[in-house]
Amino acid sequence: MRRVENPPNRFEPLVREWLEEPPQARVEVFEEDTRSILSGNTSPDLPFRWSVNPYRGCFHACAYCYARPTHEYLGFGAGTDFDTKIVVKPRAPELLRAAFLQPAWSGELIVFSGNTDCYQPLEATWKLTRRCLEVCAEFRNPVGVITKALLVQRDLDVLQELRRHAAVTVFLSIPFADDATGRAIEPQAPLVSRRFEALRNLAQAGIPTGVSIAPLIPGLNDEDMPRILARARDCGARYAQRVLLRLPGSVRTVFLERLRQVLPERAARVERRIREVRGGKLNESGFFARQRGHGVYWDLLERQWKLHRRRLGFESLRNGDAPAGPATFRRPSPAQGRLF
């Protein structure tokens, strides 16, 4: 068990320090009575407008997760609080249905999830993601899924229904080529090798799949890029994307401390490489600039990415693999009933 450890919350006027050893970090579940479930994205450098996030916080405990600072809005910490104080939105499926029934909704692509993993362990019990996907299937609304979890395979029936009548793409986030490094930086996420198995199973079931090297961490996993892409292609992945590491706010503290703890011999090199592609900084928050680096080393990574992606024959993803022609979205009549 880990001990409670959080960077100071920028929204809290008081900083608490333990006089003795901090207590063990234990998982707690909170329910949120939210009034809406569709999150609108106004970032011009992201390829989607709408996302659904049934959960806040994430048990996977990935040290680099850019969503960690969002936990501070709730009065929690961005460290172990983010990993153990998980907020669920029980009304998510009902709220999504209500949104689809609004005349203004036209059936745009929805991404699960834009914030924390929609298939983290609590999903096995709460089934909020599955129920939301069932709503999307009923209304034939196109969907994109990004996850590290093996649990996505449970919902093959719903994903196949979406594939038949609308559109769906599932990306497995696999930023490391080996289990050991993955376990060090993503201590409670499924093993890398198991994620590749899930990718293969989804592809064999006819689901359009992709691999996401997210984040790409200069000096740590950049050398893994060719192996990850080759293995993903062998598993049937059609698409590939990569996202440069972002270290906003408290994420910087959590990531660097974890790195120094679990990979001390590589920590200094990684930090130096990050600064090298960020113009001397550890983070860049500006639109478009946050998605790409600068300098000779970044140019080398970009050339390698394009070379291996082209060599392996990855396709370009357009609108969540949505089919050509009229939109598939439709509001079922009362006589049609429910699909699930």
Residue 331 is assigned to a structural domain of this protein = no
Q: Is 205 exposed, middle or buried (0-12, 13-18, 19+ CB in 10 A)?
A: middle
Residue 328 is assigned to a structural domain of this protein = no
- Amino acid 71: pLDDT: 96
Residue 127 is assigned to a structural domain of this protein = yes
**245 token code pair:** 């590491």
- Amino acid 321: pLDDT: 47
The CATH number of residue 169's host domain is: 3.20.20.70
Length of the chain: 340
Residue 112 is assigned to a structural domain of this protein = yes
Residue 227 is assigned to a structural domain of this protein = yes
Residue 110 pairs in a beta bridge with 50, 143
Residue 21 is assigned to a structural domain of this protein = no
**How many CB atoms neighbour CB 24 within 10 A?**
11
- Amino acid 3: pLDDT: 82
Q: Which residues of the chain have pLDDT under 70?
A: 1, 318-326, 334-340
Residue 86 is assigned to a structural domain of this protein = yes
Residue 149 is assigned to a structural domain of this protein = yes
Can you tell me the distance from the alpha carbon of 256 to that of 14, in angstroms, rounded to the nearest whole number? 24
What's the domain count of the chain? 1
Quick check: helix, strand or coil at residue 142? coil
- Amino acid 340: pLDDT: 53
Q: Which domain holds residue 156?
A: 28-40+48-315
Residue 275 pairs in a beta bridge with none
